[in-house]
Amino acid sequence: MSDSAIKVEGVSKLYRLGEIGTGTISHDLNRWWHRVRGKEDPYAILGEENKRDTKGSDWVWAIQDINFDVKKGEVLGIIGKNGAGKSTLLKVLSRVTSPTKGIVKSSGRIASLLEVGTGFHPELTGRENIFLNGAILGMTKTDIKRNFDEIVDFSGVERYIDTPVKRYSSGMYVRLAFAVAAYLEPEILIVDEVLAVGDAEFQKKCLGRMKDVSVNDGRTVLFVSHNMAAVRQLCTSAIVLKNGKLVFEGTQNEGVNYYQSSHNTNSEYIHDGNIEDALGNDNIRLLRFEVKPATGNVISVSSGFEIDIEFFNAKENINLDVTVEMKNTDEIVVFHTGTVISDDRSSKRGIYRVKTAVPVNDINAGVYKFKIIFGESQRYVLYAMEDVIQFEIMNEASGSNSSILPGIMRLQVPFETTFLK
């Protein structure tokens, strides 16, 4: 039977939204007064579940009542959407901030890697920074000296080791920084998405090193990532967080599947109830906007996806048209396409349904959102709505490369190869 390395019991963290500073003295005094009388924090009661899109109290539970147990030598993947509380949990575990409630017990030292290159000083040389950064991460001078050659070797910046790091290229900087972190030797290692650095070759090297740490050295690793392929590859178990709560606990494959199937919840807008209350105006009421995988349960680069829209049109006898516009998170328009619903002034008052599909392997993995525009005679806007829905296209390995390829498009075009000479 293996012992547990970290035991998390009922950990919660309350955050205050809005501006900190104004009115805090009175709040502080009020809290202090409640504490003196042995009562519960008056503001903690107001704390709400962490949902970013609904407005409510100023106090929010970033994580709420988290319980889990990690065995020694296990690699636990922590997955969840942005804002699900992953970072807060890591901050609590790495002692950057203390929990509002609950307790964490660990056997052995925890080192956290929430960022690479913490404390690097631009004026100091690579050599000096290896020692400084190593010490900040909790290594002693002797530890660093022992691993120094390997660190330099791993980073591949040997030639510049006595040059101030301000002269480094950003790639060299990051490689050096990760190299230091790669040789940390704690019993428990917490890694945030620091793997998203460097070129593909270096990323592979980092993943390899992480695997090495857990498999060969038998250390416990807590790994937070959005890269599901990396979670499947590296982890032995996984937990899924949603709105600050732990919603799933199991093996890494179960966790990833659970996350991917539950993840696309806001990839749909469905209105039920009175038509008058739906999104829209007197001309148009949007009743449904859904994005669904064309095959399988998950929208991925190889599943293709369908767009399914239902709306109520109030204007009779006009030339009605509808356009959808898809943007990525950098606000770059991926496509802007639409269809004419009626071109001979024949629109009817009532509910229409419009469907289309985007072919397999056209668009790369990533998060995208849709804008919808209803127009008259392709000239006047009847109603337009930004960011109606947001959804994610999951990555899938292409050949032996499991990381997300660059580019907005992910075309699979036939190549023709001829040997010439």
Partner 1 sequence: MHTKKNDYTFVIKPKTALLDINLAEIWRYRDLVLLLVRRDFVSFYKQTILGPIWFLVQPLLTTFMYMLIFGNIAKLSTDGIPQILFYLAGVTCWSYFAECLTKTSETFTANAAIFGKVYFPRLIIPISIIISCMIRLAIQVSLFFIVLAYYLIFTKEGVHITWAAALFPVLIIMMGLLGLGLGIIFSSLTTKYRDLRFLLAFGVQLLMFATPVVYPLSMTSEKYRWIIAANPFTSIIETFRFAFLGSGEFNLSYFMYSLVFTLVLLAIGVVVFNKVEKSFMDTV
Instruction: Provide CB contacts within 8 A for 246, sequence distance 6+.
Output: 65, 66, 67, 68, 239, 240
Please, what is the Cα angle at 84 between 83 and 86, to 5 degrees? 95
How far apart CA 366 and CA 391 sit, in angstroms, is: 8
Does position 57 bind partner 1 by CB under 8 A?
Answer: no
Give 170 or 400: the residue with its C-beta nearer to partner 1.
170
Please choose, out of 48-56, 78-86, 105-113, 340-348, the segment that lies near partner 1 by the rule CB under 8 A: 105-113
The interface region with partner 1, picked from 122-130, 210-218, 316-324, 329-337 by CB under 8 A, is 122-130
Please report where in the chains the tokens 């898809």 appear, as a residue.
326
Secondary structure (DSSP) of 309-344: EEEEE---SS-EEEEEEEEETT--EEEEEEEES-SS
Q: Is 118 in the site for partner 1 (CB under 8 A)?
A: yes
Q: Which is nearer to partner 1, 96 or 294 (CB)?
A: 96
- Of these, 56, 108, 218, 296, which contacts partner 1 (CB under 8 A)? 108
C-alpha–C-alpha distance, residues 414 and 358, integer Å:
19
Round to whole Å and give the CA distance between 129 and 285: 60
| Dihedral angle over CA of 218, 219, 225, 231, nearest 10 | 10
Rg of the chain over Cα atoms, rounded to whole angstroms, equals: 26
Among 44, 46, 114, 367, indicate the residue that binds partner 1 (CB under 8 A).
114
> According to the binding rule CB under 8 A, does residue 219 interact with partner 1?
no
Cβ nearer to partner 1, comparing 160 with 258: 160
- Which amino acid is located at 393 in the chain? I
Nearest to 181 by CA among 238, 225, 129: 129
According to CB under 8 A, which residues from 2 to 21 bind partner 1?
Answer: 3-4, 7, 15-16, 20-21
Give whichever of 221 and 301 is closer to partner 1, judged by the CB atom. Answer: 221
Site string for partner 1, 226-245 (x = CB under 8 A): --------------------
Of these, 47, 77, 89, 91, which contacts partner 1 (CB under 8 A)? 91
Which of these, 367, 408, 373, lies nearest to 388 by C-alpha position? 373
Q: How far is the CB of 97 from partner 1 (least distance, A)?
A: 4
Please identify, using beta-carbon distances, which residue of 101 and 371 lies nearer to partner 1. 101
- Which residue carries 């056997």 as its tokens? 107
Nearest distance from C-beta of residue 124 to partner 1, angstroms: 6
Under the binding rule (CB under 8 A), the answer on residue 123 touching partner 1 is: yes
Q: Which residues contact partner 1 by CB under 8 A?
A: 3-4, 7, 15-16, 20-21, 24-25, 91-110, 112, 114-115, 118-119, 121, 123-124, 128, 131-132, 135-141, 164
